[in-house]
Amino acid sequence: METKLGLFNEKRDRLNRILSRYAGRNMKSFMDLDWRTYSGGAVPEKYKELMGLVSSLVLRCDDCISYHIAQCLKLGVTNGEFEETLMIGLIVGGSITIPHIRRAVETWDEHVSPKRKLLESLEPEVLKILDGEESPTVKMQKISDLLHEKVPHYGWFGFYLTDKNDDKMLVLGPFAGEPTEHTHIPFGKGICGQAAQTMKTFTIDDVSKESNYLSCSIKVKSEIVLPIVRNGKVLGELDIDSHETSAFDAIDESFLSSICERLSSLL
| Closer of 49 and 239 to ligand SME (Cβ) | 239
DSSP code for 207: G
Q: Is 173 in the site for ligand SME (CB under 6 A)?
A: no
DSSP 3-state assignment of 194?
helix
DSSP code for 221: -
Query: By rule CB under 6 A, what count of residues binds ligand SME?
Result: 14
Q: Is 197 in the site for ligand SME (CB under 6 A)?
A: no
User: Angle at which helices 79-93 and 45-58 pack, to 10 degrees?
Assistant: 40
Cβ(58)–Cβ(89) under 8 Å? yes
Q: Is 239 in the site for ligand SME (CB under 6 A)?
A: yes
Binding piece for ligand SME, criterion CB under 6 A, among 33-41, 89-97, 141-149, 212-220: 212-220
Contact set for ligand SME, span 18-77 (CB under 6 A): none
d(CA 197, CA 265): 20
Residue 246, Ramachandran bin (φ over 0: left; ψ between -120 and 50: alpha; else beta): left
| Closer of 140 and 192 to ligand SME (Cβ) | 192
Minimal CB distance residue for ligand SME: 190
* 144: Cα within 13 Å, side-chain hemisphere: 23
Q: Is 180 in the site for ligand SME (CB under 6 A)?
A: yes
| Closer of 108 and 175 to ligand SME (Cβ) | 175
DSSP 3-state assignment of 15?
helix
Q: Is 213 in the site for ligand SME (CB under 6 A)?
A: yes
List residues binding ligand SME (CB under 6 A): 156, 180, 182, 185, 190-193, 213-214, 216, 223, 239, 241
